[in-house]
Each structure stands twice: as C-alpha cells, then as structure tokens.
Amino acid sequence: MFFFEAIPWQSWLVWLGILAGLMALNEVTRYSKYTGLAFFVALPLVLSVFVWPRTSGIGSGSQTANWFAWVKVYSALVGCYIGLGMRYTRMKDKKWCYLLVPAILGLNILEAVVREFQVMGMQGVIDDMFFMGGPWNAMNGIAGLINMLTICGWYGVVFGKGKSRDLVWPDMMWFWIIAYDLWNFAYVYNCVTDRAFYSAALLISCTIPAFLIKKGAWAQHRVHTLALYMMLMMTVPDFFVKSDYAVASTHSPAAYYAISVLALVFNVGVGIYQVYTIVRKRKNPLKDDLYSDSKSYQAVLAENR
C-alpha cells in the first residue's frame, strides 16, 4: 500500500473497535457534567499518579516518554475543562471566557506545528520511534499555522438544549474541519508515522458526530476524543507499534510529500476563501461570525436556540 504496509484483517477490526469506542465514549462524556468529570478529572488523576509514570515516564523506553505526549494529554484535558466550565457554570456569561475556546484549540495546533519543525531535523530511531524528517515537515508546519489562523467566529459559540448543553460553534464550517483533518493526519504521519494508522480512527471519531450526530459541536467532539485517545496511548503506548496489531508506515518520501502537499494546498484554499469572505462582506475576523449567512450556519443556530 502507498501509506502503510500490509494491513491484516485483525488490525482493521481493532481500528474499527477504536473508532466505535471513541465515538461511544464521546457520547457518554458529553451526556452530563458528572460523566465528564468522571472521565476527565477523576480518571486522569488516578492514571497520572499510579500508571503514567510507569508506562510513559522518563526512562520507561516507551514512545510516549517525551515532552510532546505529556503536553498533549494535559492540554487536551484542559480543553475538556474549559468546555465543561463553559457548559455548566457561569463562565459563559463572561465574554472574555469565549476567547479560551479558540485559545486551547490554537494551542493544540501550535504544539503540533512546533513538533513538526523539531522532527524536520530528526533521522532514524529515537526513543523507540522512527523518524524521517524532510521538507514535508516544513510544508505541513505551514499548513498548521494557516489552519490555526483561520479559526474564526468564537464569540458566536452557543450552548445546546437538554442535559448535555453541548458547546456548539456555528461558524466552524465543514471545509475548515476537513482542512484540519488533512493537516492533522499529515502531522501524525510525519511525526508519529508508525502510529498514524490508528490516529486516523481518532480523527474520524470526531468528524462523524460533527456531521451526523451533533452538528456544530466538532470542537467539543474533538477535545473529548483526543483526551480519551491520549489517555489510552499513555497507558498502553507499545500496543500501537509493538503488538501483533501494529501497522507500520511505508516510510516512503512520496507518501510524506503526498499528504503534506494535500494538507497545505487545502489549507491555503481555506485561507484564501476566508480572506475573500472578510473583504467581500466587510467582516472583522476578531469579532464577527464570518459565515453567518450560510445555510449550514443558520441550521446549526436554529437547532440550538
């Protein structure tokens, strides 16, 4: 195969299991504040004290024994806390709190961009992980910066009805989500190549509910599934690369180039369209919802008002 070595049927079953599990747990964790607190406060507290120092601590020899894995899991959890606070406390009554939502999303993108440029100079097996840095890292790093800069419409965030009170972001359009997915898959392929197969399940696990289950809540779906996946990876890091179900990358320069070029081109397109929208509609990207006249925006808003 172009991106990966041969994928046995057992690995496809595990992939589908991870996808289904993340989607199911996303529904559980968004159900109420109590399920959110159980999975994103109580569970990581236990894991941080009793499990992760052994499985992912410095000297453990695992692929998660590095700064990025630790920062990523806790930054994802912080994103969950911001969401819980906005949904269930009076944080949503303070306008400045709405800046926290794009800030944590942007921080997660920036972390990966920094790692992308770091990996650009890495070759061979380091901390039990294979790296092949190259120009593709720079291309995808630029794609990530564009993706971060095109986050918009955060003051238009609303909260859904019912017990879940989902954090809904009407201005987060489908094309931005696809641009993010392409960039993020390129990132995992470039920087954690031999875990990219299962990382694709993570990306899809938040995109499906954003399009089919609870529309407009992609940011919430993303931070929940990311936190759940990172907690799993920190707990059993070797499963993704050393077990019988591991799927290795082809480590082909052509594959690195292909996904990075695609991510960069799509994100440049989103950036150009956003600038065009700002100019044509005379919008302020720091204050206004840019796509408020689109049918998808209006449908999401109507469903949650």
List the helix and strand counts (H, then E) for the chain: 13, 4
Contacts 24+ apart (CB under 8 A), 271-277: 271/146, 271/149, 271/150, 273/175, 274/150, 274/152
- Rounded alpha-carbon distances, angstroms, from residue 97 to 87, 92, 183, 272: 11, 7, 27, 29
Residue 26's pLDDT band, with cuts at 50, 70 and 90, is very high
The pair of three-digit structure tokens given for residue 226, joined into one six-digit string: 């990311």
DSSP structural state of residue 144: H
Residue 61's pLDDT band, with cuts at 50, 70 and 90, is low
pLDDT at 127: 67
Phi, psi of 97 (to 5 degrees): -65, -25
pLDDT tens-digit series, residues 180-192: 999 999 999 999 8
Q: C-alpha angle 122/261/233, rounded to 5°?
A: 50
pLDDT tens-digit series, residues 191-205: 988 889 999 999 999
pLDDT at 39: 98
66 contacts 234 by C-beta, under 8 angstroms: no
Instruction: Check pLDDT > 70 for residue 60.
Output: no
Task: Round to whole Å and give the CA distance between 132 and 124.
Answer: 6
pLDDT tens-digit series, residues 133-176: 999 999 999 999 999 999 999 999 999 988 899 999 999 999 99
Task: Round to whole Å and give the CA distance between 122 and 105.
Answer: 26
Task: Round to whole Å and give the CA distance between 106 and 144.
Answer: 10
15 contacts 63 by C-beta, under 8 angstroms: no
Task: Round to whole Å and give the CA distance between 29 and 118.
Answer: 34
pLDDT at 69: 85
In terms of pLDDT, which residue wins out, 278 or 304? Answer: 278
Kindly state the percentage of the chain with pLDDT values over 70.
Answer: 98
pLDDT tens-digit series, residues 71-127: 889 999 999 999 999 999 999 999 999 999 999 999 999 989 999 999 998 888 776
Residue 216's pLDDT band, with cuts at 50, 70 and 90, is very high
